Structure 1
Amino acid sequence: MVFAIPFPAIDPVLVQVGPFAIRWYALAYIAGIIIGWRYTLVLAQRGPKPATGPAVTARDMDDFIVWATLGIVLGGRLGYVLFYKPGYYLYNPLEALQVWHGGMSFHGGLVGVILAMLLFARRRGLEYWRLADIVAAATPIGLFFGRLANFVNGELFGRTSDVPWAMVFPHGGPLPRHPSQLYQAFFEGICVFAVLAVLEWVFRVRERPGTLAGAFLVSYGFARIVGELFREPDAHLGFLFLGVTMGQLLSLPMVLFGAWLIQRGRRAA
């Protein structure tokens, strides 16, 4: 006999008045963006001051928050449409605009934020990698809240399992499964944030621009690749080849590029 923890039936809608609804999913994004923005202000005020060129200031981060939000939402949605369901949205293009139904890609959001940083840094005359280091340090905050929202929605659940903490998810069939959203919230959010915080506050790696951004890419990439071992692949994609999932495939280039950035920073030291 298999025992499982009952899935907590949390209504994805926090408050609804007529057609207007406030969803936990939206609140998670708002919380991640706001708390992450406040953390970037602390990092901007902390320095370090570059030898040449302007430093990234708290005012810069105040202005960049709008750019980052657009990059996250537009990039995340477009990435989901292109990476995960291109055929479906080709025949249902208007549904691609219905973000409130869920369906966001971290890798698409990452590309969106990278483009936003490139444009913003060029407009302000800032060194790109100094801006990227600050944004990277705050990104795990948003990842943490996003994974919690996935859990509340009962989506992106794990593979079937007989571990004592397995759960039966409403849309996952009758068998108990890993609560992989919570695993990912811990590893992609808390653990990655801790790694970057130690590198910043103890080792002060921002003195080598690009190193902290590289550390984020490597640590998140590894966390995502491991987390995918417990997560049920998207039903419409399944396993791609040799048991690899789309999330793992998209994370591998992140790890490789992040490792190059770290090595670049060491050579520049």
Structure 2
Amino acid sequence: MPMPVFAIPFPVIDPVALSIGPLSVKWYGLAYVAGLLGGWWYSRRLVSTDPLWAGRSRPKPEELDDMILFVALGVVLGGRLAFVLFYDLQRYLARPQDIIAIWQGGMSFHGGLLGAATGLWLFAKRRGYPVLAMFDLAAAVAPIGLFLGRIANFIKPELWGRPAPGLPWGMVFPDAGPLPRHPSQLYEAFGEGLLLFALLALVVRLGGLKRPGLVAGIFGMGYAVARIVCEFFREPDPQLGFLFGGNVDALSGGVTMGMLLSLPLFLAGLVLVLRARRPQQMSESGSSA
């Protein structure tokens, strides 16, 4: 089949960023490392800026090394478990040994978020810090990792978009057929990454960290909206398709797992925002949640 007039061939990108003898470092792994380091650096700047917090208790910069460890473990365990349960349960029931084969791919953002929240809760309880302070801090830096992760999805490539014949920037991805598709990974990098980071940075600058739960709530709502919008351009997971509604053949309409999992995240964010707006939430004790 001839390539459509407006199709853009996928750029040839070596998935291996660096090779030293038998060892190779892939862009995908670098994205995770860079996301953690970027979040660590930005969080140190935030906790070191006293006027942003109005006296709220929060970790010291040197304690963030331990916090990142809790978060990283939560992301990996939660992201993998949620992917197994919600995205490909039948496969893993048939081959349970594959559950630990994380190097084969298969992570859920929503599960990783829940795992990270659990890690932050454990860290806060062990160190005696307010849980919402941990959530606000993590929410402010999370879009850094989201942006880099979606760029890694594009480079791999995986999680491409739905067919888009005639779209000027439609792209033909390897192993995705001859039709040009939405580069939905880049849409998500912009919406869930750059745009959400800018919004939260503005909220922080305007005093958002002084209201417990406000930054975390806006993150939850903002990510949910960005993810649901991008799901309209992203091809559903092949093993799931549309959960209901839509046309699988035409890849139009319908509800996807990503949309469904984003709804409770939006509601949780809304609850936090409404809670943060109450006047009594301006003060926070060292052990409150």
Common topology (TM > 0.5): yes
1:241 is aligned to 244
Offset from partner CA, 1:62-84 (integer Å, 9 cap, x none) = 22011111111121122211111
1:212 to 212, 215, 230: 215
1:50 aligned onto 2:61: no
One-letter amino acid of the structure 2 residue matched with residue 240 of structure 1: L
1:195 is aligned to 199
Alpha-carbon distance change, 18 to 94 in structure 1, aligned in 2, over 3 angstroms: farther
1:250 to 257, 261, 275: 261
Alpha-carbon distance change, 125 to 77 in structure 1, aligned in 2, over 3 angstroms: same
Report runs of 4+ in structure 1 exceeding 4 Å deviation.
16-19
Mapping of 1:121-136 within 5 angstroms? 121-136=124-139
Q: Which runs of 5+ in 1 are unaligned?
A: none
Offset from partner CA, 1:101-141 (integer Å, 9 cap, x none) = 22111101101101101111000000000111001000000
2:148 is aligned to 145
Offset from partner CA, 1:13-52 (integer Å, 9 cap, x none) = 223456643111111000001001110111111131536x
Q: 2:136 & 2:62 partners in 1: Cα distance?
A: 16
2:287 is aligned to none
Find the residue that maps to 1:22 and give its secondary structure. Answer: strand
Is the contact made by 1:44 and 1:61 (CA closer than 8 Å) also made in structure 2?
A: no
Is the contact made by 1:7 and 1:167 (CA closer than 8 Å) also made in structure 2?
A: yes
Alpha-carbon distance change, 85 to 6 in structure 1, aligned in 2, over 3 angstroms: same
Is the contact made by 1:218 and 1:255 (CA closer than 8 Å) also made in structure 2?
A: yes
User: How far apart are 1:99 and its partner, in Å?
Assistant: 2.0
One-letter amino acid of the structure 1 residue matched with residue 153 of structure 2: N
Find the residue that maps to 2:6 and give its secondary structure. Answer: coil
Alpha-carbon distance change, 38 to 133 in structure 1, aligned in 2, over 3 angstroms: same
Q: 1:254 & 1:154 partners in 2: Cα distance?
A: 27
More deviation, 55-64/182-191: 55-64
More deviation, 107-116/5-14: 5-14
1:163 to 156, 161, 167: 167
Q: 1:171 & 1:74 partners in 2: Cα distance?
A: 29
Mapping of 1:12-23 within 5 angstroms? 12-16=15-19, 20-23=23-26
1:173 aligned onto 2:184: no
1:266 is aligned to 277
2:97 is aligned to 94
Is the contact made by 1:158 and 1:177 (CA closer than 8 Å) also made in structure 2?
A: yes
Is the contact made by 1:36 and 1:142 (CA closer than 8 Å) also made in structure 2?
A: yes
Offset from partner CA, 1:179-210 (integer Å, 9 cap, x none) = 00000000100000000000001x11111110
User: Per chain length, whose mean CA-contact separation is higher, i.e. which structure has more relative contact order (CA < 8 Å, sep 6+)?
Assistant: 2
Instruction: Report the aligned-residue RMSD.
Output: 1.4
Is the contact made by 1:150 and 1:156 (CA closer than 8 Å) also made in structure 2?
A: yes
Alpha-carbon distance change, 190 to 13 in structure 1, aligned in 2, over 3 angstroms: same
2:34 to 9, 31, 34: 31
Q: 2:156 & 2:101 partners in 1: Cα distance?
A: 16
Compare CA radii of gyration and give the structure with the larger one.
2
2:157 is aligned to 154
Number of corresponding residues: 266
Find the residue that maps to 1:8 and give its secondary structure. Answer: coil
One-letter amino acid of the structure 2 residue matched with residue 217 of structure 1: G
Is the contact made by 1:215 and 1:262 (CA closer than 8 Å) also made in structure 2?
A: yes
1:68 is aligned to 71
1:104 aligned onto 2:107: yes
One-letter amino acid of the structure 2 residue matched with residue 7 of structure 1: F
